[in-house]
Structure 1
């Protein structure tokens, strides 16, 4: 049985250009891409709106906000996943890698205790067909936590796991080369006294010396053996990048300097930056601006990080700021590029034979407003 749909009179955003045209969808795939409107009466008129490939999100912490909507409040896990999923699909994201943290540096945190419930809820909701976006897992591994390696080994065999990142949030590492900046950030974030902060720093530095190098090597080796994509995090110097490249990492999440981003390009690593960085006009923590990397040709992937709607908005903003990138180039950063970096070759682009994951968006004074979303040709929003 051939189930066919025709979407017409849309500005199609393909991998290399934008043009008015028509798509024919058949059995969940894109069957035809044509210029101009369709004359067939069953064609759905999209009124000249943009039609983009479904967005692919590699790193979002959004689920945690739904699991714990207020400090000390734990929400039932499956309803939390469904609420998160609704927000993701409304943002035009059809494939999402939910980032779950292994190893919590917060002395008052309970992320580790919530991991089993989070993973169980994602798995159950997906298996029951309750989610509208396709959910996969991104394991964020904090290397300076004693239990990280053992928990990683327990979770990495989950079939939803497809991306792993490694990070060391201890003084003197990556984002926090200066202890003064580390002290300022975490005292404010975790509301620690000066005395408790001293104890926290001593513990984190000791844990980093004891675990980080050993855990990094073991985790990356395991991932590469399983064919999983591996990302570094917060590389700040060329030496950091060279270390990440030696381990075989192919994605660099949130490099903090132009120097590090250039090093990533030299080593063939895909540079991922935050979409909120583009929307807000810079980094909230004072690191390099994503737009500055884009202007240098050093930006490959955008991630919504903590704000799902920023992903589509950032692409339109970046295209307006950089005519040389254009809308097609900016949309690649939120669809095709992240899909390919994560090993997904069946989506992320409007092309014949690929999945019909699509987003209809209307531009209102430059702000993209999602109108409809399809996942494998089924309308889900």
Structure 2
């Protein structure tokens, strides 16, 4: 399938984030990249032109695939809806956080393989650069060969390790009602769910060797990997030592501080910033940001939180807009080694987010120079301006 680009154009009149500063500079787009030279103009006076948002971890797709636990929809339907949800919120590149767990159901290896296949089949028809992040439970030792085969087959480039077994054991022992609800979601009885937990627990002595095997394979394959929900510095240090350098959602300051000490990037949830704290009672992201213990923000479960978090940091006096926006664009690009995006510069991909400076609403999103979202006054400017830009049916 050949790549189709929109006609060349120049965005003028807006305040643009370039070279780490907000500037009154135009942005030329040609052949899907940031260009130079005189081109047909679109007047975006009153708007901000910012680098497209890069989301390293989001599971909002789960609500599009199964809006209710008992009402699943086809993966293709959910992925198309996710694509549009991301675009409407200024997201140009996004990793969908898909579990690979002993828990079964939508978190099972079978479900992960189905998701990988669906995304691979649809990728050429999606507007956003959607990719898959695998959240691998540490106690899935017997799936090693299957996991590595899937990573190779589908070109998975990002994996994080989880260990939610202790949480499951606590649930089983102290909160039987929640255990029953958890079991029901997977179509099991509480007794069957407990048996599954016990089977996973028996793998504990094999887990260190399993993780080292995966780490060695990931290094060979060029897969970026890290860990999720580190509860303390000791856990983060163990993961860092095997090469799992990305620290995703540390639940305590000590875990984030250890990551900073060994130069491991720390990711936190944008909803945590917008809401003023963690919905699960863990450390507040803004506390880590104020202490320079957080490198990037991710959507977690809500795409609108990304842009809103950046503006919240500005409004609260934590940092200026260039620094705040870098946490959802330039820094994620650096962490995943995406050298072609994350900033607005000549030769980079034309991945852009156009925001109404007054309302702070995303009114246009461009991915490699193609409009993936267009609404409001920006739509009139694009469609009625000198550029005469038409939305292509692609």
Q: TM-score under structure 1 normalisation?
A: 0.87
> 1:91, 1:312 within 8 Å by CA — same for their partners in 2?
yes
Question: What is the 5 A alignment of 1:216-227?
Answer: 216-227=211-222
User: Does residue 53 of structure 2 align to residue 58 of structure 1?
Assistant: no
The alpha-carbon deviation at position 76 of structure 1 amounts to 1.8
Which residue is 1:36 aligned to? none
Which residue is 2:309 aligned to? 314
User: Does residue 122 of structure 2 align to residue 125 of structure 1?
Assistant: yes
C-alpha distance 356-243 of structure 1, shift in aligned 2 (>3 A): same
- Unaligned runs of 5+ residues in structure 2 are 374-394
The alpha-carbon deviation at position 220 of structure 1 amounts to 1.3
More displaced, 355-364 or 1-10? 1-10
User: Does residue 343 of structure 2 align to residue 349 of structure 1?
Assistant: yes
Which residue is 1:205 aligned to? 201
User: Does residue 327 of structure 2 align to residue 329 of structure 1?
Assistant: no
Identify the match of residue 146 of structure 2 among 139, 142, 151.
151
The alpha-carbon deviation at position 77 of structure 1 amounts to 2.1
- Separation of aligned partners in 1, 2:275 and 2:26: 34
The alpha-carbon deviation at position 109 of structure 1 amounts to 5.4
Q: Compute the RMSD of aligned alpha carbons.
A: 2.8
Question: What is the 5 A alignment of 1:1-381?
Answer: 4-14=8-18, 16-32=20-36, 42-105=40-103, 111-126=108-123, 129-171=124-166, 176=167, 179=170, 183-184=174-175, 187=179, 190=182, 202-207=198-203, 209-323=204-318, 325-364=319-358, 368-381=360-373
Which residue is 1:37 aligned to? none
More displaced, 110-119 or 254-263? 110-119
C-alpha distance 201-159 of structure 1, shift in aligned 2 (>3 A): closer
- Separation of aligned partners in 2, 1:102 and 1:191: 17
- Secondary structure of the corresponding residue to residue 303 of structure 2: coil
- Unaligned runs of 5+ residues in structure 1 are 34-39
> 2:168, 2:197 within 8 Å by CA — same for their partners in 1?
no
C-alpha distance 252-182 of structure 1, shift in aligned 2 (>3 A): farther
The alpha-carbon deviation at position 199 of structure 1 amounts to 5.1
- Separation of aligned partners in 1, 2:175 and 2:220: 39
- Separation of aligned partners in 2, 1:110 and 1:262: 30
More displaced, 313-322 or 293-302? 313-322
Which residue is 2:389 aligned to? none
- Separation of aligned partners in 2, 1:111 and 1:12: 44
> 1:137, 1:160 within 8 Å by CA — same for their partners in 2?
no
- Separation of aligned partners in 1, 2:13 and 2:206: 57
The alpha-carbon deviation at position 58 of structure 1 amounts to 1.0
Which residue is 2:391 aligned to? none
C-alpha distance 117-201 of structure 1, shift in aligned 2 (>3 A): closer
Aligned length in residues: 364
Which residue is 2:376 aligned to? none
- Secondary structure of the corresponding residue to residue 297 of structure 1: coil
Q: Deviations over 1:121-180 (max 9, x none)?
A: 111111xx3200012221111111354423311211135411111111111xxxx59947
- Separation of aligned partners in 2, 1:265 and 1:20: 35
Q: Deviations over 1:271-290 (max 9, x none)?
A: 00011111111011111100
